[in-house]
Chains A and B, each alone.
Chain A
Amino acid sequence: MGARHGGALSARYVAGTSPVHRLAPQVKLVAVLGYALVVVATPVHAGWAPWAYAGYLLVVLAAAAVAGVRPGRLAGSLVVETPFVVFALLLPFVTRGPRVEVLGLSLSESGLQTGGALLAKATLSVLAATVLAATTEPRELLRGLERLRLPSALVQILGFMIRYVDVVSGELHRMRVARESRAFDGRRRGALRVVGAAAGALFIRSYERGERVHLAMLSRGYTGRLPRGPVAAVPSRDWLTGLSLPLAAGAVLATGMLLG
């Protein structure tokens, strides 16, 4: 079978028993969201902003250390923010206003600030999300979202995505093998048309699979709601532990605002 052990989506999860692993998923979701909000709320042009970013970084690194997430994995996860980096690097060149000379280049001062802030905020948020993904299995995340009252239809769609991403990527893989077995070369001219047709075929197949899955669900009494398992209440101590992440970040922000 094409699917790797663990599946594509669980690849970010690192099994463990750290205090962060043991927290209920909804606590972690709220914590990461709160942390990201605090980070984003930091004023871009304040003089103390770089100090605040450093403070946030310490906070999230501490969380990663408690969770046992290795620095290598944290660094690797930053790949996803490449588009932001490109945008942030462009800003100092295209923004108007007072300019400064850096290494012989004339750069916009406010562009530098904005670009730097964008980069810092994106990086910090991605780091926090990485700690979340590394300590929470995808289906646990879904359970957390469900407990946080995300509309049931959305949770179901996400759940099916997790379940079927390997099935669909397996199909994609088999189609590619079948193409290449008949001497198809993806780099030749006109290859795009073939790949486009394959994408269409994959869409139809997935659509039909969706219909069959729905049929199988109806056959077992599905009425539009996924039945839930038992729900355990989260002790308030866990909430306190989890929320220490956004609270610490909030403290950094408050300090900056008061002293700055």
Chain B
Amino acid sequence: MSTAPSLLVEDVAFAYPDGHQALYGVDLRIEPGERVALLGPNGAGKTTLVLHLNGILRPGRGSISVAGMPVTKQNLREIRSRVGIVFQDPDDQLFMPTVGEDVAFGPRNLGLPEAEVTARVAAALEQVGMAGYAERPPHHLSFGQRRRVAVATVLSMHPEILVLDEPSSNLDPAGRRELAEVLESLPVTLLMVTHDLPYAMQLCPRSVVLDAGAVVADAGTRELLADQQLLAAHRLELPYGFDPSRA
């Protein structure tokens, strides 16, 4: 194993074609095996940053590398297998007719032999507790199950880093807990974009706050959530009655 960080974002700035500047020089370094929460209010640039990680958007300035490999046009295929993004709406992520075909979509794009694809599909579904659902169409599953299958669709690509966009949104408490158990059991680096501060605290020892296109805080989650002033300054709020020092 190389000792390069799983993810290295250096001074990334980006403006959309309409001139709207979304990122103003973001730096972020995530070591292998870390679980990091990316917090920030709506419009802070979280999703824009996520889309940079696998080269969907290209930075106007700065650079990104994944496990030592720079995100460039030539490396896109390899980068997209290293960065597994799970989008917020599982209906966007699950577009194939059956769960199994969807989980196989990524590995097949990587050109893996069919035996390897089958093995990876089985393993990925097993990891998210959805073994035995391979033949089911996605619309037959509950929302929580679909979210877990969405995680499996990128796990099957054996990513270096798993990036989740609002993983707990729209989940009922049981679905939330089941997903947390799955995520905790995965031996991968994790970057979780969320507004759900208790969820960040439960899963991620470290948190990064992004606001107005720049990193404004990077610290232990518990310590960060105890800083009332910091939270208030960036439109982050703990749910009523939640005390981070006692959780």
Contacts and interface: CB of A to CB of B under 8 A. Distances in A.
B54 interface: yes
B153 interface: yes
A223 B106 CA distance: 11
Contacts of B143: 1
B77 A215 contact: no
Interface stretch (B108-116, B178-186, B194-202): B108-116
A220 B157 contact: yes
A215 B87 contact: yes
A230 to B, nearest CB: 5
B84 to A, nearest CB: 8
Interface size class of A (residues with CB under 8 A): 20 to 34
A216 interface: yes
Interface in A147-172: 159-160, 162-164, 166-167
A189 interface: no
Interface size class of B (residues with CB under 8 A): 35 or more
Nearest to B101: A229
Contacts of A237: none
A219 B85 contact: yes
Interface in A182-230: 209, 212-213, 215-223, 226-230
B153 A221 contact: no
Interface string A10-53: 10000000000000000000000000000000000000000000
A167 B56 contact: no
Interface string B85-119: 10101011111111001001110111000100000
B139 interface: yes
B109 A163 contact: no
A54 interface: no
A65 interface: no
Nearest to B91: A167
A7 interface: yes
B20 interface: no
B120 to A, nearest CB: 13
A221 B97 contact: no
- Provide the main secondary structure of the chain A interface: helix
Given A3-B139, A7-B139, A212-B87, A219 B109 contact: no
A13 to B, nearest CB: 12
Given A3-B139, A215-B87, A222 B109 contact: yes
Nearest to A231: B114
Contacts of A163: 94-97, 137-139
Contact of A220 (B97, B137, B154): B154
Nearest to A143: B97
A195 to B, nearest CB: 24
Contacts of B80: 218-221
A184 B140 CA distance: 31
Given A216-B92, A221-B77, A221-B81, A230 B140 contact: no
Interface of B: 51, 54, 56, 77, 80-81, 83-85, 87, 89, 91-98, 101, 104-106, 108-110, 114, 137-140, 143, 153-154, 157
Given A7-B139, A215-B92, A219-B56, 16 more contacts: A1-B139, A10-B137, A212-B87, A215-B51, A216-B87, A216-B93, A217-B95, A217-B105, A219-B87, A220-B106, A220-B109, A220-B153, A223-B77, A227-B105, A227-B109, A229-B104
